[in-house]
Structure formats: C-alpha cells, structure tokens
Structure 1
Amino acid sequence: MNTLYFDFKSIGKFSDNDIAYSSGNKKLEPFYSFFPSQENLLNAAEKRKNFTVDREVLVAEITRQYKGFTDHEEIFTYISKLKDPNVFTITTAHQPNLLTGPLYFIYKCLSAIKASGEFNKRNSQYETIPILVLGGEDHDFEELNHLRIFGKPIVWEDEQGGAIGRYKTASLQPIIDEIYQILGDSENAQLLKGKIEKAFNGKENYGQSMQHFVHELLGHLGILVVSMDNKAFKKRMIPYFKDDLLNKSSHRIVNEVQESFSEAGFDKQAFVRPINFFYLTKNSRDRIEENNGTYSLVNSDNNWSQDELLHEIETNPENFSPNVILRPIYQEVILPNLAYVGGGGEISYWLERLSQFEELKVFFPMLIRRDSIQLISNKDLEILQEYHFSIEDLFLPDHKLTEKYLSEFGRDEIDISKELQAIDELEKKVQEKAEVIDQSLVARIGAQFAKFKNDLQGVEKRLKKTEKQSHDRNIKKINRIKSKLFPNNGLQERSDNFMSWYILHGEGFFQLLLEAANPFDTRMKTIEV
C-alpha cells in the first residue's frame, strides 16, 4: 500500500474555513479549547474529570440497545468499561445514511477509532472508547436516502415522515435486492450480503438496523454505535431544553459568537433560532415557534402555553429533539467525551459554540478534523504513470489536463503543404517537357497530377483524424481516472459508497484504511489499493 499526501488548499475542493482549521490558522484559537493533537488529549482528560456524566445510565442504555442485536458477552464487558471514571470517549456522529451512504461516513468512524487507539497506546492512566452517535432523529430524508455503487445511484423511496431512525424498513427490500444484483456472487459479495441480512432482518426500525450494520462492519475495531433517540438520555437534557425555552441562551450567545467569527474572516455556519429543538411524533419532527406566549408547531395544530410546554418537557423529554445548535450539548452531557471527530463543515459550526458551552457549564471537547481520503486502484495509477501524469495533475481543470497531454505526446500538426508544393513544381517540369514533344499531353498530365494531389489531401485528412482519435482515447482514459477521484467535480469521499471497494478487497479494506488513517495529519491521503 502506498499513500500520498496533499494539502487541502492544493486540491481546490475544501472550504476556506476547513483549510484554516486544518492548517492551524491562529485567528481560530479563540474559538476552541484544545489544539488538536495526541498530547492535548491527555490535557482534555484531566479537565474532563470535572464534568461528570451519569455513567450508570449510559452503560445501561447502550447495553440495552446492543442486546437488540447481539448476545456476545465480550461486547457487554467492553461497554461496561464506561462505568470507570478513567475511561472516556472519542466521538463522531452522523445521520444513518442509506447503508452508510458516502465513504466519509466510514472515514469518520475510522478516524475516531485511530485517535482512540493511539491515545490508549500512549497512556496507562486513562483509556478511551471510540463512539459513533447515529443521528436517527434527523428528518431530512432526501439527504440520506441514496448511495452510489460503481457509479450507479441507488435511491430509497419512502414517505413515512418524521425521524428517519424510526422508519419501518419494509420499503427497503427492493433497494437491498438491487444492491445484491450489483454486488454479484463473489466471496466478498457473499460476506457483505451476510452482514446486510443480519442487520436488516427482523429489526423494529431503520435506526436499529443501521446500528447493527455499522457494528457488523466496524465493531471488531472497537467502535460502539449509540442511538440518542432515548428517553433516559433525554432526561439529562431537560434543564437545557428549559433554558433554551426560557432564557434563549443559545440564541443570544451563538449569534454573538457568529459576529465575532465573521469579523475574524470566517463564514458563519448554522442558523440559530430562538427555540432550538423540535417536537417528535410518530411521523413528524416539527419546529416549535412562539407567538405572544403561545407555543405551536410549524406544521401542526398542536399548541401549548409556556407552563404546558414546560410540563411536557419535564414529563415526556423523549418527545423533544435538539437541532444542530443543541445537538452538540446533548452529546456532551451524555458521553464522557474528550474529542469530537468531524468533517470541515461540522468543525466550523462547533467553532461557534465555545461560549455557549461555557455559559451552560458543559465540557467543550477537542475538535479533530476527520481523515479525508481518496482511493485509486493500482491499474489506474499505472495508466497515469504510463502517460507521465501524477496524482497532482488530476487537480487541474480538464482543459489543462488536455494541454499537458498534448505538450508531452502531441506531434506537430500534420501538414503536407510543402510536399504538395514540391509536386506542383514537378508537374510544371513534366508539362514543360511534354510541351516540346506533344502539346496535347499537357492537359492529360495536369489531370493526373490533380488526381494525385487530391488523393494526397484525402490521406492528410485521414492521418489527422487517426491522430486525433489516438489522442482522444488516451485523454479520455486520464479524464476517467480523474472522474473516479473527483466524481461530478466533487470529492470521491462525498460520492462513492464503501461497497464499491469492499467488494474488491474484502475485510482487509477497513484494516488498510485504518493503517493509513491519522486525523492529526490534516492532509488529503491518496491511497493506492
């Protein structure tokens, strides 16, 4: 395995905010607590001890969730480690995209696993466990109902509505059948189909299926998958829901921070509302708005007085769901977390939250930018090398790639005008000799030379066409490789599903990625597989 490294800025696909954080821009220092490094994780552990969580409830609820799909005692022993006050978590989070969706879902998990594993190697006083929080309460179905395998889009059609993790899975069967057809019958395909079957057969809802599926894929690497759509967890959010309703602390503070963020030269992120949580019902997740002391749902006739809504929060906290502004708070009051592993967009909105966390007296974790990875096959790399191209060349616009190819391999323009001129001179000499012998032969000689010159011009056209076709074929080869790394001119990790690669490399695929992962090295990693 060979890995090449490229600065985000050189690739031209990453936001200015992302580049600034990953390159250690000092203007961002006021917006975070710990510079991302393995050494600082130990400092985070020392400070985290002052922010307690209910470890008994945490272990009980994760255990209950896992009992829904496994009876392996070693898993429950592993989960029970979280009762130890010297055991912390390194967390990432994502929506339950269709069978994990784009590759970066996997990269997030592996980044958390790698950061945790390296911390555990370096420290004996503390231990960390990597966690994936599966955001099953999200309700934007069109954000996650699709994936792409070998360039083919697969779309899950369903209109249940509400929290996606609560969707019934009956409508998924045609999608799974289609995926099976694409995967074929190889040994790796059969292995992957077995994991899908185990995860999606007999589960109550999509959230549980995805929890099981990620465990089947990555659980052996030590990551725990946790659902936060949970009444016991939501009870810990009661004071924060109430604060948001009565004091609007998050609305006030995040707005202020966003102004400072903008003044420092960075783009504002998530929109903060006066009320930053939703109301959940069986098939909806609706925003709450206040109008003259009455609280109502945007897409429903439900309404409450302030006292009634406070009573509902107190007695049925499971009916409330934090939005993007309160979700990080929720995560950190439930988990004994040292660090959050996220993509560039996530890191940007976390950077707007430090003052919010301080106001609410919640621990603000280290922010670790997940690994960004590109995958290129050995065959494609050999083709690039054959034409003297590098991975860096694929960062160029298409017309620049073509120019580079032609500058290397394009021959001089095929032009026989000089040869035709020489034939004209020859024709003239022959006609001069013919005139002396027989004047009537001059016209016949001219016709023969005209036919010959016309045939030569036809040969010239064919040579030009053949030359162009040869170049076009080779240029298309290079552009096809570029489109694999940058599908639709975007990043591969935001498009392709892991199955496109797993089917070729099997279980070793995840281990290969884990070896290359290092979220503290914030460069694009291009791996030859």
Structure 2
Amino acid sequence: MPTDCISFQNSGYFTDLIIDYLNQKSNLQSLYNRFPILENFESQIQEKQANFNDSHRKILVTVLKQQYETVAVSKLTKQNIELLSNSDSFTVTTGHQLNLFTGPLYFLYKIISTINLTKELKTKYPNSNFVPIYWMATEDHDFEEINYFTFKGKKFRWNKESTGPVGRLSTEGLDQVFDVFAKEIGSSTNANAIKKLFRESYLNHSTLADATRFLANALFGEWGLVILDGDQQDLKKMFIPYVKEELLYQKSNTAVLETISKLKDYPIQVNPRPINLFYINDTLRERIVFENGVYKINNTPIQFSESEILFELENNPENFSPNVILRPLYQEVILPNLCYIGGGGEIGYWLELKKLFEASKVTFPILLLRNSALVVTEKQAKKADKLSLSWQDLFSKQVDLLNEKTKQISVFPLDFSMQKELLKNQFSYLENIANQTDKSFIGAVKAQEVKQIKGLENLEKRLLKAQKRKYTETLERITDLQNELFPNRSLQERQNNFSEFYLENGESLIEKLLSELKPLEKEFNIITL
C-alpha cells in the first residue's frame, strides 16, 4: 500500500482561502480568534467561561431532555446532557443539513471529528468537560440539496414539495424511497441492518427533524453525541435581544461588509443582507425586508409596523429564523461552545463573521476544518502498489496523472526539455551575432526560435500520444482505479453514502473511522477497510 501522506494544502481540493487559513497567513489572522491547536483551547475555555451566560445552561438542558423524550438515549449521551448544566462544561459543535440517510460520507466525518476532539480536550484539560454537539440545520429550506443520496453511483431521490423549514417537513412518501433502496441493496446481514435503520428512522417518525435525530443517535449515540434542534421557542427566547438589534439597527450587514472588504483577494462565500432574518412557519420561510418604515415578509402580504414586529418577536420568537449570517451567532449564544468544526465552505463564511461577534459581545469560536478521508479496500490498495501509484498520484488531475505515468513507464524519455534548452542556447548565440552585425535580423532569429521550439513541443505531444496507445492497458487500469476512488472526478466523501461501505463492513465501519480520524491533523486520512 502507498505510504505517502496528503496534506490538505497539497490535495488540490481546497480553495486559496482555506489553504491560507491553514498556513496561518498574516492577512487572515484578524479574522479568527485562535488557531486550532490543542494548547490554544486553554485561553478559549477561559474566555468562553467568562463571557457565557450560565443562565442559558438550564434552558438548554431542559430543551435537550424534551427533544430526547422519544429517543433511546445512551448512558454517555444522557451524562453529557446533564454535564451541560455545569459551568465547567463546554461544547464542540458541528452542523449539517438534514440530508436524506446522511447524504455524502462527510456527514460522518464531521461528527467523528467532533467526538474525537472532545476526547482529546478531556485528556489535555481533565478539570473541564467537553460535549460533542451535532446542530441539525432544521430551519434550512434548500430541500433540493438534501432530498437524495447516492449508493453505488445511483441516486435515490425523495420527490416531494417543500416550502418551509425542512425540519418540520412530513416524512410522507419516504416509504417509496425505502422500497426502491431495499431492492437495490440485497438481503445480507449488513443489508438488513441498513434497511432496518432506514425504516426506523424515516418510516417510524413523522418529521424530517425527528427522523434525522433518530438516525444520528443510532449511529453515534454510543459515543455520547448530543443532537440539538435550534428550531425551538425557548432557545429562540434567549436570542431575542440579538434579533431585536438586527431588526432595529441592522448592524450585521455593516460588520460583515467591512470584513468582506478585507477578503477582496478571495471569492466571497456568502453576502449579507440588510436584515439577515427569515420569518417562518410550517410552510413558509421568507426574508424579512424593511421598506418605507414597514417590515414586510418577502413574497407574502404579511407586514408589520415596528411596534407590531417587536410584539411578535416577544410573543412568538420561534417565527424568527436567522439566516447563514446570524445562525452562527445564535449557536454561540445558546451553547457554551469552544470550537466549530466544518468543511471548507463553512470555514470560509465563518471567517466573515468575527467583527459581527465582537459587536455582539459574543466569544468567537475556534474554527477547525473537519477531517477528510479516502476509504480504500485492501484490493484497491494492492492495485495502487502494483501500478506504482502513490496517493499523491491518485489525487492528481487525471490528465496529468496519465501523462506522468506514461513518461515514467516509457523505455525512452518523452520530455524534450533538454533539446529545447539546447535550441534556446543556439538561438541566443545567433541573436548575439545578429546584434553585432545587422540588428534587423533579430526579429527573424526570434521567429525561427519560436517556430522550432513549437515544432519540438508538437513532436513531444505526438510521441506522448503514441506511447499512451502503446500502454493503453496499464493506463486503463490506472484510470479505473482513480475513477473508483474519485467518483465523477470528485472526492469520494462528497459523492458516496456511508451505506455503501457499511454493506461490506457493518458496525466496524464507524469504529474504524473513529480510531483513524485525528481532528487536529491537517491531512487526508487514507483508511483501508
């Protein structure tokens, strides 16, 4: 099996912003609080402990107990919920959409990164307690992003209409998805376990939020994961002062735009709106806009005066939903949180928010890029060895990989760099002569140089193409292996569902991932099953 390591920076799958963040470039250091190394958590603990409103803890624990009333709670999860009452207990949080049957593999990696970091923190800081939180994105409305999952290259889609927060969506119709999926995966012991998990999650629960909570708890409850749904009245009450501030003064827009001006060298992940709030009910999630002294609910006839909307906020805070700009602030107000773990896109938009947190007097969490992994079978690892492929080779763009491998296995060199250099030296000599005799010849000399260099490059391409034909069989094996590991020329973790690997490995899959993924190491994990 290849033994080389792939750093996030050299993988080819992260943006310049994330690479510069990982490299702690000075131009970004004002945009985050502390870099994610174990030693920095001591100061983060002290700051959060000093700034967090401990009266929120009792409400948080009460809400969590209510949300777990119909769920079989593991001993460790129950203990973790109780621990949140204590002022020396803190959370590490990840968030994710309510993807059907977890969606892509990285759903697992985010949660496992979170669980494993709490273990490392407890070892380093034994006098404090650390609770892993999965924040369910129940208030999202982008149903098209979550209504399917992929199994062995085939999409299983839930055909349904959704206009409101997805967490409140009825699970009606998922029996049809189950029937199709059940036929696809067979009837082995592991297949039956997968079918049982799908059935109990989605066919025995009435809303997508309840189904997702059951599913995540079934997969990770044993390791103490605590699952939180922020779409809850008592939690929203704690956020009322910040919503009121947003409605009346709209400071988040100004703060984030000021930060965005410092990110002008990078693509911007999200842009703020004048008011970064939605108004929601079971079938509605629309922006709140302020026009001509009136608060209007976009695309509806609903509108409020200032006094009316503040009355609505005080009496029905659950109807106000933070968008992507304010959701992180909501999370950090209600949780004693130290660290947020997310993907590259999430870290990108969190880096826009520190000034907003400062203006709101809320501690900004440490930002940690989640673990990424490539899961391979022993057979695939042996193939890579036999084909003399390193992991870095397999992470390369396919055209570059095939060109490089053709050059390596060819019995004669296919690189004419030496010949080009000789030509350049000869033409440099001719140019020198022309310069001393008749300068009008210099243009002709340069034109001839360009022509002959281009001729060599064309010969190089033709020779490479001919050698590719000669080694077609070997190159096809390389292509097939890379396509298996990088479906659709993308990261496996963004395409495949966990069930594909559970089918072969059963319960040992998650145990293996938990043992292999190290949250503070900034490199791809190659995990052999």
TM-score w.r.t. the length of structure 2 is 0.85
* Contact 1:107–1:370 (8 Å) recurs in 2: yes
TM alignment of 1:29-68, pairs within 5 A: 29-50=29-50, 51-53=52-54, 54-68=56-70
Name the CA distance, whole Å, in 2 between partners of 1:75 and 1:527: 27
* Contact 1:162–1:282 (8 Å) recurs in 2: yes
Instruction: Specify the alignment match of 2:164 in structure 1.
Output: 162
TM alignment of 1:144-293, pairs within 5 A: 144-262=146-264, 265-293=265-293
Summarize the Cα distance change of 1:219–1:71 in structure 2 as closer, same or farther, 3 Å threshold: closer
Instruction: Specify the alignment match of 2:436 in structure 1.
Output: none
Letter in 2 for 1:190: N
* Contact 1:133–1:227 (8 Å) recurs in 2: yes
Name the CA distance, whole Å, in 1 between partners of 2:339 and 2:269: 20
Instruction: Specify the alignment match of 2:431 in structure 1.
Output: none
Name the CA distance, whole Å, in 2 between partners of 1:26 and 1:284: 43
Question: What's the offset of the Cα at 1:239?
Answer: 0.8
* Contact 2:250–2:274 (8 Å) recurs in 1: yes
- In structure 1, the residue corresponding to 2:338 is in which secondary structure? strand
Instruction: Specify the alignment match of 1:436 in structure 2.
Output: none
Letter in 1 for 2:227: V
Question: What's the offset of the Cα at 1:371?
Answer: 0.7
Name the CA distance, whole Å, in 2 between partners of 1:312 and 1:512: 49
Question: What's the offset of the Cα at 1:75?
Answer: 4.0
Summarize the Cα distance change of 1:189–1:311 in structure 2 as closer, same or farther, 3 Å threshold: same
Which deviates more from structure 2 when the two are superposed, residues 37-46 or residues 174-183?
A: 174-183
1:101 to 100, 103, 114: 103
* Contact 1:95–1:134 (8 Å) recurs in 2: yes
Instruction: Specify the alignment match of 2:432 in structure 1.
Output: none
Summarize the Cα distance change of 1:404–1:34 in structure 2 as closer, same or farther, 3 Å threshold: closer
Question: What's the offset of the Cα at 1:130?
Answer: 0.4
Instruction: Specify the alignment match of 2:379 in structure 1.
Output: 379
TM alignment of 1:314-463, pairs within 5 A: 314-409=314-409
Name the CA distance, whole Å, in 1 between partners of 2:516 and 2:488: 26
Q: Are 1:523 and 2:511 an aligned pair?
A: no
Letter in 1 for 2:294: T
Letter in 2 for 1:154: F
Name the CA distance, whole Å, in 1 between partners of 2:371 and 2:2: 16
Summarize the Cα distance change of 1:37–1:405 in structure 2 as closer, same or farther, 3 Å threshold: closer
Instruction: Specify the alignment match of 1:452 in structure 2.
Output: none
Letter in 1 for 2:497: N
Question: What's the offset of the Cα at 1:255?
Answer: 0.7
Question: What's the offset of the Cα at 1:113?
Answer: 0.6
Question: What's the offset of the Cα at 1:228?
Answer: 0.6
Deviations 1:285-311 (A, max 9, x none): 111111101121222111111211111
Deviations 1:7-49 (A, max 9, x none): 2232222111111112222321111111111111122111111
Question: What's the offset of the Cα at 1:74?
Answer: 5.9
* Contact 2:76–2:223 (8 Å) recurs in 1: no
- In structure 1, the residue corresponding to 2:252 is in which secondary structure? helix
2:130 to 128, 131, 135: 128
Letter in 2 for 1:134: M
Q: Are 1:489 and 2:485 an aligned pair?
A: no
Name the CA distance, whole Å, in 2 between partners of 1:266 and 1:127: 37
1:69 to 68, 71, 75: 71
Question: What's the offset of the Cα at 1:468?
Answer: 8.5
Letter in 2 for 1:195: L
Deviations 1:310-340 (A, max 9, x none): 1111110001110001000100111110111
Name the CA distance, whole Å, in 2 between partners of 1:21 and 1:44: 19
Question: What's the offset of the Cα at 1:500?
Answer: 1.2
Letter in 1 for 2:200: K
- The percentage of counterpart residues that share the same residue type is 35
1:84 to 83, 86, 89: 86
Question: What's the offset of the Cα at 1:134?
Answer: 0.4
* Contact 1:398–1:479 (8 Å) recurs in 2: yes
* Contact 1:147–1:153 (8 Å) recurs in 2: yes
Q: Which protein shows a greater Rg?
A: 1
Question: What's the offset of the Cα at 1:470?
Answer: 8.5
- In structure 2, the residue corresponding to 1:11 is in which secondary structure? coil
RMSD: 2.0
Name the CA distance, whole Å, in 2 between partners of 1:259 and 1:26: 16
Summarize the Cα distance change of 1:72–1:396 in structure 2 as closer, same or farther, 3 Å threshold: closer
Instruction: Specify the alignment match of 1:303 in structure 2.
Output: 303
Name the CA distance, whole Å, in 2 between partners of 1:108 and 1:4: 24
Q: Structure 2: where are the runs of 5+ without partners?
A: 413-466
Q: Structure 1: where are the runs of 5+ without partners?
A: 413-466
TM-score w.r.t. the length of structure 1 is 0.85
Letter in 1 for 2:486: F
* Contact 1:160–1:283 (8 Å) recurs in 2: yes
Name the CA distance, whole Å, in 1 between partners of 2:26 and 2:96: 28
Summarize the Cα distance change of 1:25–1:484 in structure 2 as closer, same or farther, 3 Å threshold: farther
Which deviates more from structure 2 when the two are superposed, residues 125-134 or residues 299-308?
A: 299-308
Which deviates more from structure 2 when the two are superposed, residues 122-131 or residues 171-180?
A: 171-180
Question: What's the offset of the Cα at 1:405?
Answer: 4.0
**Number of equivalent positions:** 473
Question: What's the offset of the Cα at 1:410?
Answer: 5.8
